[in-house]
């Protein structure tokens, strides 16, 4: 029996729909990073490259230079070029929606990383995913580290008022990691039973120089002697804070230096310089923001969807929550275990 015209048209349509998928050896992933000049995201980027090699996919990474309009254009270019999947680290996470629309129109997967889009964005497209870490965990770890230190070191209560006077150095405004880490580090200190007083708080946009400068301002206005702890939303800012303290003769390290001249500072990420500062006794601790597993999970998802294959624990090696999310846990890092992460 001859095929009807509609059946032929349907077959043709099916063939077009299948264009959205690629053979394993042909997968091309286009990835935009909010800015290359970011320590933690550089780690994620390098690990995505390794992960792509491991699965036999090609990945092209571009620098969005902290500009959302530039990122939007980069996504258009990737789609025109015919990428099979996108991995996007949004500059502005409220811009994730329009990017999902572009991906959906072209029938390519979109995996967001590090900056979490609104749940609606993921729900609106079956090929949209998010890989990240629960910022609450790293906030809690930071608060607990400070609480334990304060309880174990009576001299840390410099003004002997029974309260902890602390400074909070936050990341970028509007970033879920800045909001939640700040909230949960404070909560953890309270939950540990500390009587806490916030004597200063400011945003330093994940940046070491800004962290240093904001800390200098606090030292000038409050006096270094009145500061009993500094909680930072990431390591780069914490290392900037440590630099500012060092120029006051504090946190010079345990190597023959006066141990009483130490103000506990915590960060998040466990970058190489942070691990080194922990080893020297200049930084109290941090939490591992796992660039290896975040990068690997994102690439594996992109590679699966690009080939029209399922995304689940069996296929990617990570638990997939609600069919949409991969959450990589944070790990507490101190002088006791920093070597495990070097
Ligand atoms: C955070 C990380 C920061 C910075 C930021 C960029 O998760 O802790 O250091 O990389 O992401 O969005
Ligand atoms: Ca005090």
Confidence of residue 24 (pLDDT cuts 50, 70, 90): confident
Per-residue pLDDT tens over the stretch 143-200: 999 999 999 999 999 999 999 999 999 999 999 999 999 999 999 999 999 999 999 9
Q: Which of 37, 38, 209, 239 to mutate to test the pocket of ligand 1 (most atoms within 8 A of CB)?
A: 38
Q: C-alpha angle 307/310/311, rounded to 5°?
A: 110
Which H/E stretch holds residue 3? none
d(CA 287, CA 331): 5
Token output for 251: 């946190």
Map residue 109 onto helix, strand or coil: strand
Q: Which atom of ligand 1 is nearest to the CA of 38?
A: 10
Tell whether ligand 1 has an atom less than 6 A from the beta carbon of residue 290. Answer: no
Nearest to 283 by CA among 308, 303, 299, 263: 263
What pLDDT, on the 0 to 100 scale, is given for residue 20? 64
Per-residue pLDDT tens over the stretch 85-124: 999 999 999 999 999 999 999 999 999 999 999 999 999 9
The ligand that comes nearest to the alpha carbon of residue 89 is 1
Q: Which atom of ligand 1 is nearest to the CA of 236?
A: 9
d(CA 179, CA 135): 9
Q: Are 34 and 91 in contact (CB under 8 A)?
A: yes
Rounded to the nearest angstrom, the distance between the alpha carbon of 54 and the centre of ligand 2 is 52
pTM of the model: 0.93
Interacting residues of 138 by C-beta distance below 8 A, sequence separation 6+: 177, 181, 184, 268, 287, 289, 330
Rounded to the nearest angstrom, the distance between the alpha carbon of 41 and the centre of ligand 1 is 7
Interacting residues of 49 by C-beta distance below 8 A, sequence separation 6+: 59, 61
Most confident of the following: 15-24, 87-96, 250-259: 87-96
Tell whether ligand 1 has an atom less than 6 A from the beta carbon of residue 206. Answer: yes
Lowest mean pLDDT among 14-28, 202-216, 251-265, 282-296: 14-28
Nearest to 62 by CA among 90, 38, 34: 34
d(CA 276, CA 196): 29
Tell whether ligand 1 has an atom less than 6 A from the beta carbon of residue 289. Answer: yes
What pLDDT, on the 0 to 100 scale, is given for residue 12? 46
Residue of 23 and 197 predicted with greater confidence: 197
């Amino acid at each position: 029996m001859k095929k009807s015209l509609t059946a032929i048209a349907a077959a043709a349509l099916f063939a077009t729909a299948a264009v959205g998928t690629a053979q394993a050896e042909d997968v091309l992933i286009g990835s935009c990073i909010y800015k290359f000049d970011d320590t933690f995201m550089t780690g994620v980027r390098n690990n995505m490259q390794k992960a792509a090699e491991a699965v036999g996919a090609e990945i092209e990474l571009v620098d969005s230079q902290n500009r959302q309009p530039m990122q939007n254009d980069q996504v258009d270019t990737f789609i025109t070029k015919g990428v099979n999947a996108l991995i996007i680290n949004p500059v502005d996470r409220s811009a994730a929606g329009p990017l999902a629309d572009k991906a959906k129109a072209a029938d390519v997967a979109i995996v967001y990383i590090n900056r979490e889009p609104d749940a609606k964005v993921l729900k609106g497209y079956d090929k949209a995913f998010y890989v990240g870490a629960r910022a609450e965990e790293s906030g809690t770890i930071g608060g607990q580290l400070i609480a334990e230190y304060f309880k174990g070191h009576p001299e840390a209560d410099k003004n002997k008022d029974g309260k902890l006077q602390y400074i909070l150095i936050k990341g970028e405004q509007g970033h879920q990691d800045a909001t939640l880490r700040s909230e949960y580090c404070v909560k953890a200190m309270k939950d540990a039973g500390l009587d806490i007083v916030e004597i200063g708080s400011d945003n330093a946009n994940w940046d070491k120089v800004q962290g240093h400068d904001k800390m200098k301002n606090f030292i000038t206005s409050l006096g270094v002697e009145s500061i009993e702890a500094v909680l930072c939303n990431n390591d780069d800012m914490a290392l900037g804070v440590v630099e500012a303290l060092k120029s006051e003769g504090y946190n010079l390290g345990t190597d023959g230096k006066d141990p009483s001249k130490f103000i506990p500072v915590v960060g998040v990420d466990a970058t190489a310089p942070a691990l080194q500062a922990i080893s020297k006794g200049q930084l109290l601790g941090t939490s591992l923001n796992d660039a290896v597993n975040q990068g690997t999970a994102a690439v594996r998802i992109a590679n699966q969807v690009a080939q029209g294959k399922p995304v689940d624990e069996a296929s990617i090696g990570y638990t997939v929550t609600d069919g949409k999310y991969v959450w990589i846990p944070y790990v507490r890092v101190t002088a006791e275990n920093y070597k495990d992460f070097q």
